[in-house]
Amino acid sequence: MQITGNTILITGGGSGIGRRLAESFHKKGNQVIVAGRRQQLLDEVTSANPGIKSLLLDISDQDSIRSFSQQVAQDYPGLNVLINNAGIAKAEDLKSPPDYLEDAEAIVTTNLLGPIRLTAALLPLLQNQPHSAIFTVSSGLAFVPNAATPTYSATKAAIHSYSVSLRHQLKSTTTEVIEIIPPYVQTQLTGEQQTIDPRAMPLDEFITEVMDILANHPTVEEVVVERCKPLRFAAENGNADMMFQTRNP
């Protein structure tokens, strides 16, 4: 993928990784549209970055995705990059059903069904362009799960598998499929404390490395920063079980 001259839609673009990606791509000369559920956060992005556009989207709602996709096709007919970034995470105690089931179902709907539905809705538009790309955002936890966030980890594993299959099915088309695999990053994904957790990778460092990979490796299929490689390649290196036990005492 070329990182300039695109029209890019980023879900979950009001904060965290989504916002920083939006700002970075905008600075590279792309038309960027951020989408999310909270208008206030979207307004903060567009106010701080003149030229970035915003659209409301509830990624957990199928009707919202349908109407949103129609609006995107009407307002941005040249859309050629979709970044499925929106996601939620919550700790769950699996020993206490059914207390966690509502959270688990919301995580599956947002993290897995949302990207699948939005990709299906926008794929005809994307494939109408000379070149296009679909980004998915999984996690290092797709490869070595965090037992405290089992459903989140499971949805990210599913997103990785979905990305592999989507890439294979689209290999004869002009649509690329690129998976971004973050490590633990200083965002508000699990709450305010994560933004200052010294164990987490600073957000700006993560985004800088991601953009460098995309710029220097235009045919990359998986964007894996150095800090995430031990998780991503744990199985290939034969130490997945050890890493799981170490990270989940």
Look at residue 190 and tell me if it is in a domain: yes
Look at residue 33 and tell me if it is in a domain: yes
Look at residue 216 and tell me if it is in a domain: yes
Look at residue 1 and tell me if it is in a domain: no
- For 47-82, the pLDDT digits (tens) are 999 999 999 999 999 999 999 999 999 999 999 999
Q: What is the pTM for the complete model shown?
A: 0.97
The whole-number average pLDDT for the span 206-211 is: 98
Annotated catalytic residue 152: yes
- For 116-126, the pLDDT digits (tens) are 999 999 999 99
- For 8-17, the pLDDT digits (tens) are 999 999 999 9
The pLDDT assigned to 97 comes to 83
Look at residue 153 and tell me if it is in a domain: yes
Contact, 212 vs 224, CB < 8 A?
Answer: no
The pLDDT assigned to 99 comes to 82
Number of compact structural domains in the chain: 1
Look at residue 2 and tell me if it is in a domain: no
Determine which helix (DSSP H) or strand (DSSP E) holds 108, and give its type and residue range.
Answer: helix 101-108
Look at residue 204 and tell me if it is in a domain: yes
The pLDDT assigned to 18 comes to 98
Catalytic residue among 100, 152, 162, 184: 152
Determine the structural domain holding residue 121 and report its residue range. Answer: 7-247
**Can you give the CATH number for the domain in which 169 is found?**
3.40.50.720
- For 150-204, the pLDDT digits (tens) are 999 999 999 999 999 999 999 999 999 999 999 999 999 999 999 999 999 999 9
**Which residue stretches of 140-202 are H helix?**
150-169
Give CA–CA dist 157/138, Å, rounded: 7
Look at residue 152 and tell me if it is in a domain: yes
The pLDDT assigned to 98 comes to 83
- The phi, psi pair for 51, rounded to 5°, reads 110, -30
The whole-number average pLDDT for the span 141-146 is: 98
